[in-house]
Each structure stands twice: as C-alpha cells, then as structure tokens.
C-alpha cells in the first residue's frame, strides 16, 4: 500500500509567499530574495511530507501565482500582447500576465481570472487564438523535480492534463474550437515528459478535473487519444490520472479504458464510485486505485472507521499492492497547520479536536496506511483518539441544539411565502415609500478608509474602548448619511463601517461559527481568505445589525436600507459541517437571518437588502444536480426574506455572475428588488432578465466599482437608456455594480453625484 497527496498549500504557513510576492511587486525585495522564499517553502513542504511518511510526494504543485498560469508558461501559451516581455525575465513576464503591467514602455491588461471549478480559488484563464502555437517555454516542472532530487526526494510531478488545460481556456478569436488545438499542444507535453523521463521520473500526475464535468463525445475522445498517445510514446511511464470534486460519472467508461497505471478517486465527493469501478466489467484489476479519502476541501478530521472499511473493500478486490491512500484533491484548499492555533479564545479546544488542517491530514494518511496494513498496533492510540473525537462530535452541546433542530424540522411552506404576490406588495410599497421614478441607491458599503480599518483593529486588540469605538463608527455613519442626503440619493445605506467582511461579521455574531487565527487559504495570487468554520447548529443570540441600521435611520427621514448577508452566501464562503446535509445548515442560517430581518422591520427599517452574491458559484459541477441545489438555495433565501409585512421592501444583490442559465431561480427568489453587476458588460448581463421578462424591480449596475475611474454623467445616462429601452420604467433602480468599500471617498463622491444627476435627468424626460 502506498500513500500520496495531490498537492500541498504553497502560500507558506505564515503566508510568507504572499508577503514576499507583494514586497517584490512593490520593489522592496529582489527577485533573488523572492525565489529563495519559494524554494524554502517547497523544501519545507517536501521534508514535512517525507518525515510524515508520504510515499509519493507531488512536485510542481508549488506556484508563485497560479498553477494554470504556470501551465501557460510551460507550454508557451503567451498572448501576443506580452511579446515585448517574452525574452526578458520570465518571472516578470509571468506576473505581467497575472496582474497586467503599466509603465512608459508597455501597457497591458492582465489575463482574465475565474473560479476553479466549484472552489473559491481563482485561476488565470488561458487565451487561445486561431493560429495558436505552443512550445516548450518554462522549465519550471523540470527544475522543481531536480530540486527535490537534490534533497533526495523522487517526486511525482503534477501537470494539468492537456484536455483540462484546453477546456479551461478561452478562444479569443472566432472561427475555431479550442479542442482542435490538442494536436499542436500534445508535442509540447511529450517534450516535457521526455525531459522528465530522462531524469528517471517514475510517476507523473495528470490532473484532469474536467472529468468531473458533463463532457461530450468529442471531449471524451480527446481524453482517450491524449493518454493513448502519451502511453505509446512513453510505455514505461506510470501515469497517475486524477479527477476530483465530483464523480467520473458518464466519463467512467472512457477512463477505465485508458492505459494508465493509477486512477485517482475523490471518495469524499463521490463515495459510491469505488463500488461502481470495482464491479465494472471494464475495470482492469491491475490498475492501481488512489483512494482520495482525506478531504482536501474541508477541515474536519477523517473518520478512520469509515475510511478503513473503504480501504478494506478495495484491498479485498485488488490487493494491497494496488491500493494508494490519498487526499480527495490537492490540499491547496485547506489551511496549513492546526498546531498554530494556540489561542484558546479563538478556537475552543473542544472544537479543535474535531479538526485537521493540511499538516494533520498528512498524518491521517500515514495513520490510515498503518491501520490498514501490518502496523495496526503502532497506530492504536491515534485510532482511539479519532473515535473519541467523532463520538464527542456526535453529541457535543457546542454543536447540537434541539431548539434549532426542531425549528428547522417545523419549517413548512408558509415560511418561504410572502403574504401577498409581488404585484400587491409593489402597490403597497409604492405608497408606503413614495419613491421617485428611477430611485437611486448604493449596494451597502462605503469606503473602508485606513482610519476605519485601524479603529476596528484597535478595538479588537482592546486599544480602543467600546464607547470610543462606537462614537467613531457613529461619526463616520452620520457623515455618510449626510453625504447621501446632500447629493440626493433616494434610498440610503449606513455604510457598513463596523464590518470587516460580509460573512465574518455575521459568523462572529451567530452561534455555530468558530474562527481560526491562521487558517488562511489562497484565493488568488497573493490574496488569501480565512473562511469561518461552521461547526454547529446556527442560531442568533441577539440582534446583529439593528443597532447601526436603526441609528442611521434615526438621522434621516429618507429610508435607510438594512443590510444583511444571505444564507447561501454565508454557507458558501465558510468551511461547512459535514455531519449533516448542506441544505439543513443553510436553513438554519436562513432562520437566523429571518429573525434579523423581522427585528429590523420592528425597529423602523422599511427596506432590507439580503446579499446573495454566491448563489451561482454554489452550483454543482454536473447539470443533473443543479435543480436540487437551486431549489433548496432559493427556498433558504425565501425563508430569510418572508417574515415581513407586504409594505417592507426586500432587496437582494448579486455580482460576479452570469444569469442566463439560472434566471428562473433568481426570479423564484421573489425579492422585490434585485441589484446586479452589469456595467462592465455594458448591460449585457441584463439580457437574461429581459428575455425572461423578469417580473420584479431591478437595479442594473451603472458603474464599475472595481476601477478608480469616475464615470461621467453621460456614460451613466447611456447605460440607463439601455435599461430603459428594455425594462418597464417603473421597475428600474439606479445604483453602482457593487459595494464601494474598496474605493476612496473623492472618487466615490464624484461618481455618485454623477449617478444622481443622470437619474434625475432621466426622470425629467418622462
């Protein structure tokens, strides 16, 4: 039996790589110093795995920015706009592609970035042109393999497979299909493989997570022919084929016929496929199976009892020598090391005993191998401790609340139903709120200046007293209200100055959430996030937002919108529990948010926005599973929104999304008003709503908040006219694309003034 992992986090246990990258970009350290940090991280990772007893360690899982961008460089897939940099320093070219570059000599936009499957990790999207050529360009894979050899470690280099690489990219010109580039791409893969085999490489790990998606016949053929060709050229190479995040599904028959040595299975996401494979008549009993038992996407301890049963099943059919134990996917999506969490005020020891971060997961793999093979006795203590932790988790009072559970059980349709239809609500709201045509509003947050952030951090450290902190936030809130009144916004916001992050803020105030101190995971490039740990039944101790919303409302006669994060987004951006279905957890959050919505209403708030920017990214990878997800996600939103009277107007907000294929679910959310990001696409994203004849009110974003550029009145009017042409005018709201927390005040002020002017001019024209 062998052990392996698919990849290890690379940002550094103290986020060294983040810091070094940012210092390098700011010109504060030399490239040599940056490279040193990289090689130090790789070395630490390998030695840790080696000392833990991992048999096949990955290499090339390290990246200075992103593994897909690394692959672009490996195969020379470099968009023409960077040609000037192509023969300069390779790392600088690499960062220019990732981040864009602007100086006297060159002005190039960055490559596009998008989410890696259903994770919160973002990869750089490869760009292809009709006459695309590939060449062996960066020797990173070879270099890192050699680097490990020098440490006495023979690694299993990781490569993104050719088909997944092509499918992840985008045609930048019309007239060809990206898969047609395969014949040009494969020779470069051959060259990489040949360089590696000449260094005596035994295994190469090809990641083909596209096998977790619905593939068509042509795409499956591409998989088949790629690996047949690789095998023909390199008959002695042992191919380790990895798919993760979902089952092989309909792609299984194709996969079982491939000439590969080891097939990896994500048994966390798709437990049943092991049986399917072992029973399949196409399964060649000499193929090794890598059992991805240890969850690479979540932070819970592995359940040794369950895993051992699975291992036993595999061993009984194919023999110990053909079984590998591994992580479900790369550990990239897990934090580094639970041992760093020494601060008991943050992470209760009772909770900590249920968790395993990357370093602990290595140990779990080692222990599972020990328990499943001859050294059973040596690992008895670990086994016992594991059983105890799981037993404790089943009954812990920290987790289980009968009150919360029975509330969820008692949910019925009346909870997810507003009292009247939208049309009736709209009439009542129009007379209750008395807003002009094309009402103006913003999405919630105002600039989080250095001072605002410093108040929060000083308050957290105890340097600022609660009363001093409150008075500072109150002053900032008041100024924002006055500003909005002055420039003539119709529906105001309080500004969210008291909030660190739209999920963390609520997590910190809800039962059932815990926070680590060092649980960082890479989101993209040097950006890391520290997702809350949703460990228990969720409930609300007391009001979470009423204080600041009610305070803001007390300052003005205009309506101030209450501002909440929706249940699906809170779920999606946390590490969620694996001891109950996501849907139940989501309903628990929905009920807590519902209580808050009702509280806001009782405290005089007439408009409440429930943000759901993450609804779309929660979609399962396979279409057949979409409906189930969308049904419960929409329902959870409706539970959160439906506790109020007809006159209270519910808004929702979504961004970074395409809406076409989920528009009926968005409509089914039945928010009175939805605000969306549309300006960057020149209102293209609005089409889905128009074609669908979206029945409720809608605020298509009229300016891009990701850029410091201030839009002119004319530009905004131009977008507004576009909206007016396709939507009933009584349904149109005027607002920016998203919250303004990343902007500064001067540009925000001018931009919003222009926005109000544009709306007023349109009003006069009616």
Interface residues toward ligand GLN, by CB under 6 A: 443-445, 496, 502, 563, 611, 613, 653, 655, 738-739, 741
188 binds, among Zn ion, ligand GLN, none (CB under 5 to 8 A by kind): none
18 annotated as a binding-site residue:
yes
The least CB distance from residue 534 to ligand GLN, in Å, is: 19
Query: How far is residue 521 from each of residues 29, 121, 223, 295, 567, measured CA to CA in Å?
Result: 24, 9, 31, 15, 22
747 annotated as a binding-site residue:
no
- Both tokens of 674, joined, read 């939805």
The least CB distance from residue 546 to ligand GLN, in Å, is: 16
Collapsing DSSP states into helix, strand and coil, what is residue 240?
strand
- Please identify which residue in the block is written with the tokens 């920015």: 65
140 binds, among Zn ion, ligand GLN, none (CB under 5 to 8 A by kind): none
Collapsing DSSP states into helix, strand and coil, what is residue 111?
coil
The least CB distance from residue 442 to ligand GLN, in Å, is: 7
Query: Cα Rg for the chain, rounded, in angstroms?
Result: 27
Measured CA angle at 489 (ends 484, 493), to 5 deg: 60
The least CB distance from residue 687 to Zn ion, in Å, is: 19
The least CB distance from residue 703 to ligand GLN, in Å, is: 14
Single out the segment in contact with Zn ion by CB under 5 A; choices: 204-212, 338-346, 617-625, 649-657: 649-657
Give the number of residues written for the chain. Answer: 766
Smallest CA-to-CA distance from 578 within 384, 310, 328, 303 is with 303
Determine if 676 is a binding residue for Zn ion (CB under 5 A).
no
Q: How far is CA 727 from the centre of its chain?
A: 32
Q: Which is nearer to ligand GLN, 415 or 733 (CB)?
A: 733
| Full DSSP string of 382-427 | HHHHHHHHHHHHHH-TTT--HHHHHHHHT--GGGG--SS-HHHHHH
Cβ contact 95:106 at 8 Å: no
Single out the segment in contact with Zn ion by CB under 5 A; choices: 272-280, 419-427, 531-539, 737-745: 737-745
653 annotated as a binding-site residue:
yes
549 binds, among Zn ion, ligand GLN, none (CB under 5 to 8 A by kind): none
Number of residues counted as binding Zn ion (CB under 5 A): 3
Angstrom distance (rounded) from CA 517 to CA 680: 36
The least CB distance from residue 497 to ligand GLN, in Å, is: 11
Rounded to 10°, the helix 140-150/67-74 angle is 110
CB atoms within 10 A of CB 606: 19
- Please identify which residue in the block is written with the tokens 């300016």: 703
Collapsing DSSP states into helix, strand and coil, what is residue 288?
strand
Cβ contact 621:213 at 8 Å: yes
Single out the segment in contact with Zn ion by CB under 5 A; choices: 125-133, 654-662, 702-710, 748-756: 654-662
Angstrom distance (rounded) from CA 116 to CA 209: 10
445 annotated as a binding-site residue:
yes
Q: Which is nearer to ligand GLN, 68 or 752 (CB)?
A: 752
504 annotated as a binding-site residue:
no
The least CB distance from residue 652 to Zn ion, in Å, is: 11
140 annotated as a binding-site residue:
no
Smallest CA-to-CA distance from 325 within 393, 281, 274 is with 274
Q: Which is nearer to ligand GLN, 55 or 501 (CB)?
A: 501
444 binds, among ligand GLN, Zn ion, none (CB under 5 to 8 A by kind): ligand GLN
488 annotated as a binding-site residue:
no
444 annotated as a binding-site residue:
yes
The least CB distance from residue 688 to ligand GLN, in Å, is: 18
The least CB distance from residue 568 to ligand GLN, in Å, is: 13
445 binds, among ligand GLN, Zn ion, none (CB under 5 to 8 A by kind): ligand GLN
Footprint of Zn ion on residues 403-432 (CB under 5 A)? none
Q: Which is nearer to ligand GLN, 226 or 448 (CB)?
A: 448
Q: Which is nearer to ligand GLN, 444 or 699 (CB)?
A: 444
Question: Looking at 264, 390, 403, 706, which residue is catalytic?
Answer: 706
Kind of pairing, strands 101-102 and 107-108?
antiparallel
Angstrom distance (rounded) from CA 367 to CA 344: 27
The least CB distance from residue 366 to Zn ion, in Å, is: 43
Collapsing DSSP states into helix, strand and coil, what is residue 527?
strand
536 binds, among Zn ion, ligand GLN, none (CB under 5 to 8 A by kind): none
611 annotated as a binding-site residue:
yes
Determine if 683 is a binding residue for Zn ion (CB under 5 A).
no
Determine if 738 is a binding residue for Zn ion (CB under 5 A).
yes
Q: Which is nearer to ligand GLN, 605 or 621 (CB)?
A: 605
10 annotated as a binding-site residue:
no
Determine if 685 is a binding residue for Zn ion (CB under 5 A).
no
| Full DSSP string of 668-716 | HT--SEEEE--GGGTTGGGHHHHHHT--SEEEEB-S-TTSSPPPPHHHH
Show contacts of 417-422: CB within 8 Å, 24+ apart. 417/638, 417/642, 418/641, 418/642, 418/644, 418/646, 418/650, 418/670, 419/645, 419/646, 420/646, 422/670, 422/672, 422/695, 422/696
385 annotated as a binding-site residue:
no
Single out the segment in contact with Zn ion by CB under 5 A; choices: 468-476, 515-523, 579-587, 736-744: 736-744
418 annotated as a binding-site residue:
no
- Both tokens of 762, joined, read 């349109």
Determine if 655 is a binding residue for Zn ion (CB under 5 A).
yes
Q: Which is nearer to ligand GLN, 60 or 545 (CB)?
A: 545
300 annotated as a binding-site residue:
no
Enter the DSSP assignment of 174. S
Q: Which is nearer to ligand GLN, 3 or 441 (CB)?
A: 441
Kind of pairing, strands 113-115 and 107-108?
unpaired
741 binds, among ligand GLN, Zn ion, none (CB under 5 to 8 A by kind): ligand GLN
Q: Which is nearer to ligand GLN, 655 or 723 (CB)?
A: 655
- Both tokens of 446, joined, read 């105002």
701 binds, among ligand GLN, Zn ion, none (CB under 5 to 8 A by kind): none
617 annotated as a binding-site residue:
yes
Region for residue 438 given its phi and psi (left: phi exceeds 0; alpha: psi -120 to 50; beta: otherwise): left
Q: Which is nearer to Zn ion, 249 or 613 (CB)?
A: 613
Footprint of Zn ion on residues 606-645 (CB under 5 A)? 613
- Both tokens of 624, joined, read 């057949």
E strand or H helix that includes residue 67: helix 67-74
Cβ contact 664:689 at 8 Å: no
The least CB distance from residue 119 to ligand GLN, in Å, is: 17
Residue nearest to ligand GLN (CB): 739
Q: Which is nearer to ligand GLN, 418 or 653 (CB)?
A: 653
502 binds, among ligand GLN, Zn ion, none (CB under 5 to 8 A by kind): ligand GLN
Query: How far is residue 169 from each of residues 177, 181, 243, 322, measured CA to CA in Å?
Result: 11, 11, 18, 35
Enter the DSSP assignment of 320. G
Residue 706 annotated to the active site: yes
Interface residues toward Zn ion, by CB under 5 A: 613, 655, 738
Annotated binding site for Zn(2+): 653, 655, 677, 738
Annotated binding site for 5-methyltetrahydropteroyltri-L-glutamate: 15-18, 115, 527-528, 573, 617
Annotated binding site for L-methionine: 443-445, 496, 611
Annotated binding site for L-homocysteine: 443-445, 496, 611
Annotated binding site: 15-18, 115, 443-445, 496, 527-528, 573, 611, 617, 653, 655, 677, 738
Annotated catalytic residues are 706
């Amino acid at each position: 039996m062998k052990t392996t992992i698919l990849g290890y986090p690379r940002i550094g246990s103290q986020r060294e790589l983040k810091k070094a990258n940012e210092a390098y970009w700011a010109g504060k350290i030399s490239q040599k110093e940056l490279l040193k940090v990289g090689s130090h991280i790789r070395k630490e990772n390998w030695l840790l795995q080696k000392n833990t007893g991992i048999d096949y360690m990955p290499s090339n899982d390290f990246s200075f920015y992103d593994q897909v961008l690394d692959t672009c460089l490996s195969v020379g897939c470099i968009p023409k706009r960077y040609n000037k940099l192509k023969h300069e320093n390779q790392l600088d070219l690499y960062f220019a592609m990732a981040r864009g570059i602007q100086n006297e000599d060159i002005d190039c936009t960055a490559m596009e970035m998008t989410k890696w499957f259903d994770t919160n990790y973002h990869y750089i999207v490869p760009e292809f042109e009709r006459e695309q050529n590939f060449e062996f360009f960066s020797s990173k894979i070879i270099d890192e393999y050699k680097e490990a050899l020098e440490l006495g470690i023979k690694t299993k280099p990781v490569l993104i497979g050719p088909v997944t690489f092509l499918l992840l990219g985008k045609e930048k010109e019309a007239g060809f299909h990206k898969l047609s580039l395969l014949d040009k791409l494969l020779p470069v893969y051959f060259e990489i493989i040949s360089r590696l085999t000449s260094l005596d490489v035994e295994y190469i790990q090809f990641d083909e997570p596209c096998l977790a998606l619905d593939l068509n016949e042509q795409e499956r053929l591409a998989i088949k022919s790629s690996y047949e060709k690789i095998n023909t050229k390199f008959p002695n190479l042992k191919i380790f084929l990895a798919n993760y995040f979902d089952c092989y599904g309909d792609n299984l028959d194709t996969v079982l016929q491939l000439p590969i040595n080891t097939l990896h299975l994500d048994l966390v996401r798709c437990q049943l496929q092991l049986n399917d494979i072992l029973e399949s008549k196409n399964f060649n009993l000499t193929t090794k199976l890598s059992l991805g038992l240890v969850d690479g996407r979540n932070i819970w301890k592995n359940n040794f009892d369950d895993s051992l049963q699975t291992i036993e099943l595999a061993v009984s059919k194919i023999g110990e020598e053909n079984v590998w134990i591994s992580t479900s996917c790369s550990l990239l999506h897990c934090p580094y090391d639970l041992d760093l969490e020494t601060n008991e005020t943050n992470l209760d020891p009772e909770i900590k005993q249920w968790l395993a971060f990357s370093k602990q997961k290595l140990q779990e793999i080692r222990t599972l191998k020990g328990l499943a093979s001859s050294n059973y006795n040596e690992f008895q203590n670990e086994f016992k401790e594991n059983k105890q932790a799981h037993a404790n988790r089943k009954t812990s009072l920290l987790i289980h609340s009968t009150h919360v559970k029975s509330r969820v059980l008692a949910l019925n349709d009346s909870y997810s139903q507003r009292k009247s239809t939208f049309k009736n609500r709209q009439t009542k709201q129009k007379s209750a709120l008395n807003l002009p045509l094309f009402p103006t509003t913003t999405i919630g947050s105002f600039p989080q200046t250095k001072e605002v952030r410093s108040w929060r951090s000083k308050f957290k450290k105890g340097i600022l007293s609660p009363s001093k902190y409150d008075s500072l936030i109150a002053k900032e809130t008041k100024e924002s209200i006055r500003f909005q009144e002055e420039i003539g916004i119709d529906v105001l916001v309080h500004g969210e100055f008291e909030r660190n992050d739209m999920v963390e803020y609520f997590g910190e105030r809800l039962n059932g959430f815990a926070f680590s101190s060092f649980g960082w995971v890479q989101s993209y490039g040097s950006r890391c996030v520290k997702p809350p740990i949703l460990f228990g039944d969720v409930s609300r101790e007391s009001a979470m937002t009423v204080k600041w919303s009610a305070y803001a409302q007390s300052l003005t006669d205009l309506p101030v919108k209450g501002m909440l994060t929706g249940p699906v987004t809170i779920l999606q951006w946390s590490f969620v529990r694996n001891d109950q279905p996501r849907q139940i957890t989501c309903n628990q959050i929905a009920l807590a948010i519902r209580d808050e919505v009702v509280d806001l209403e009782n405290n005089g708030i007439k408009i409440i926005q429930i943000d759901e920017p993450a609804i779309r990214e929660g979609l399962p990878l396979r279409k057949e599973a979409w409906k189930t997800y969308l049904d419960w996600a929409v329902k959870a939103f409706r539970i959160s929104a439906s506790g109020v009277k007809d006159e209270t107007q519910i808004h929702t907000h979504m961004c970074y999304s395409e809406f076409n294929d989920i528009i009926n679910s968005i409509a089914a959310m039945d928010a009175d008003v939805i605000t969306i990001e549309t300006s960057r696409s020149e209102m293209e994203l609005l089409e889905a709503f128009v074609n669908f004849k979206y029945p409720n009110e809608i605020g298509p974003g009229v300016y891009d908040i990701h850029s410091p550029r201030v839009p002119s009145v004319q530009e905004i009017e131009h977008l507004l006219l576009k909206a007016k042409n396709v939507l009933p005018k009584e349904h149109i709201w005027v607002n920016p694309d998203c919250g303004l927390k990343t902007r500064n005040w001067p540009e925000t002020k001018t931009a919003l003034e222009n926005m109000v002017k544009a709306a007023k001019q349109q009003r006069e024209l009616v």
